[in-house]
Amino acid sequence: MNIIAISINHNTAPVEVREAVYLNNEEIKNLTHSIKNSFFSEGLIVTTCNRTEIYGIPANQNLSHQEIQNALLNFKSVTGLKPEHFQYFSSANAIKHLFSVATGIDSLLIGDNQIFKQVKDSFQTAEDLNFTGFLMKRIFDSAVKAGRRAISETGISEGAVTVSYAAVQLIEKIFSNLSKKSALVIGAGETGEIAAKHLRERGIGNLTITNRTYERAEKLAENLSAKILPFGNFKDSLHEFDIVLSATSSDSLILTKADVHAAMKKRNYNSLVLMDIAIPRDIDPEAKSIDYVFYNDIDSLNIIVQQNLTKRKEEIPKVEKIIEEELNSFLSWFNSLEVAPTIKNLRDYFEAIRLEEVEKNKNRFSSEDQEKLEIITKRIINKILHHPTVELKKYTESGANSDEAAQKVSIVRELFGMIKDDEKEDEREK
């Protein structure tokens, strides 16, 4: 199977290198137009914050990984990258790597569900640009199936593995129904933004954002259909919230124990959840001594994250088994594309010889014996072809190595003169 791929990812390159070759949507379109037909007959580009990968069916049999790599680097005008920054894949290994990406076991955060969606989006983009074909569509279907099975049949995506998500999951354990709760997110930076998105995704009833820079809070609130509270006087409204999640870059505490105590009095001591995911901390840890206050800081949340990461790592062998099963299934299908026609051609070839010889000699037999001649010669042909047919079919039933299968098929076709002139030329060039 002639598919090749290159990858630059978190395993091979530091963040500044990954950033240098990152492709936005417009760049993906332009690069696709550049390499389509000239390099690949069909293909796929996957790019996220942690990886940039190009897969394809070469339009030219002599296409090398280095040429694809150079095309990417020239497109991005990047120099100075080292060979060790890249990974190279061919044939079944290229597909296996894509399955590993789609199932999340090759992610920076093991089991990251986002990468599954990103792979699906990448295929959709490739299809919109007419970069996919018969083979890539089948690869896509298999990759999606592997990803879905990993999510549904294993625990690879269970449990929070980021502090922001761990905070929200812990909140859900305290308040079973978030739709009736109100939350205040203090800080609209990356951490606060992610936490706010998680709260919105988990169905928080009312979401409010406060930030020193009002414009940033305004932008985040608009994206999440949230309210805005001026940073200068947010403490006056603290009692209105069931959940306070703080993630600022302040050098000192922004909520003291006294602030929390005052809010609790106004709340008549209804439960209040405080999630401090800032470094250094935003909320005085002594606030946890107040009745009905549930306080967690980044240290306690990190313990949850590490426990979940350990559980996810334990699920990797199960996912690898799924990948192997789906890869074998794909290879069986792929091998059948060549094996089935070869079996038919082989039988047609022997049948033509049989008919020719029977036709030449049937007049030597009586009418009654001619019928017997037909039966006997057909039985001889069936016995001769039985073992070769069984051996060839094994490649479609066992998911055997596709390169090995292709080699066997090529030998059979050439031995019995079933290989076309252009195929012979291709074989001589390899």
Residue 37 domain-assigned (yes or no): yes
Note the pLDDT tens digit of each residue in 122-170.
Answer: 999 999 999 998 889 999 999 999 999 999 999 999 988 889 989 999 9
58 upstream amide cis, omega within 30 of 0: no
Work out the pLDDT band at 423, boundaries 50, 70, 90. very low
Note the pLDDT tens digit of each residue in 257-310.
Answer: 999 999 999 999 999 999 999 999 999 999 999 999 999 999 999 998 999 999
220 part of the active site: no
Q: How far apart are CA 78 and CA 35, in angstroms?
A: 17
pTM, entire model: 0.70
Residue 414's pLDDT is 75
Residue 108 phi, psi (nearest 5): -60, -45
Residue 38 phi, psi (nearest 5): -70, -40
Residue 313 domain-assigned (yes or no): no
Residue 430's pLDDT is 41
Residue 316 domain-assigned (yes or no): no
Q: How far apart are CA 257 and CA 240, in angstroms?
A: 17
11 and 137 belong to one structural domain: yes
Instruction: Name the domain boundary from 133, 157, 181.
Output: 157
Give percent of the chain above pLDDT 90.
Answer: 69
Note the pLDDT tens digit of each residue in 224-262.
Answer: 999 999 999 999 999 999 999 999 999 999 999 999 999
272 and 358 belong to one structural domain: no
169 and 153 belong to one structural domain: no
Q: How far apart are CA 239 and CA 237, in angstroms?
A: 6
Residue 385's pLDDT is 87
- How many domains is the chain partitioned into structurally? 3
143 and 229 belong to one structural domain: no
176 and 136 belong to one structural domain: no
Residue 400's pLDDT is 52
Q: How far apart are CA 319 and CA 176, in angstroms?
A: 31
**Average pLDDT in the chain:** 90
245 and 363 belong to one structural domain: no
Q: What is the CATH number of the domain that holds 259?
A: 3.40.50.720
Exposure b/e, 225-254, CB count within 10 A at least 16 = b:
ebebbebeebbeebbebbbbbbbbeeeebb
Domain containing residue 126: 4-157
150 and 173 belong to one structural domain: no
Which residue stretches of 129-174 are H helix? 134-153, 163-174
Exposure b/e, 167-177, CB count within 10 A at least 16 = b:
bbbbbeeebee
Catalytically annotated residue among 15, 25, 49, 249: 49
**Inter-helix orientation angle 190-201/163-174, to 10°:** 40
270 and 356 belong to one structural domain: no
208 and 269 belong to one structural domain: yes
Q: How far apart are CA 407 and CA 392, in angstroms?
A: 11
Q: What is the CATH number of the domain that holds 99?
A: 3.30.460.30
> The tokens of 71 are what?
């095309």
> The tokens of 41 are what?
């007959």
10 and 131 belong to one structural domain: yes
Residue 314 domain-assigned (yes or no): no
Note the pLDDT tens digit of each residue in 4-19.
Answer: 999 999 999 998 999 9
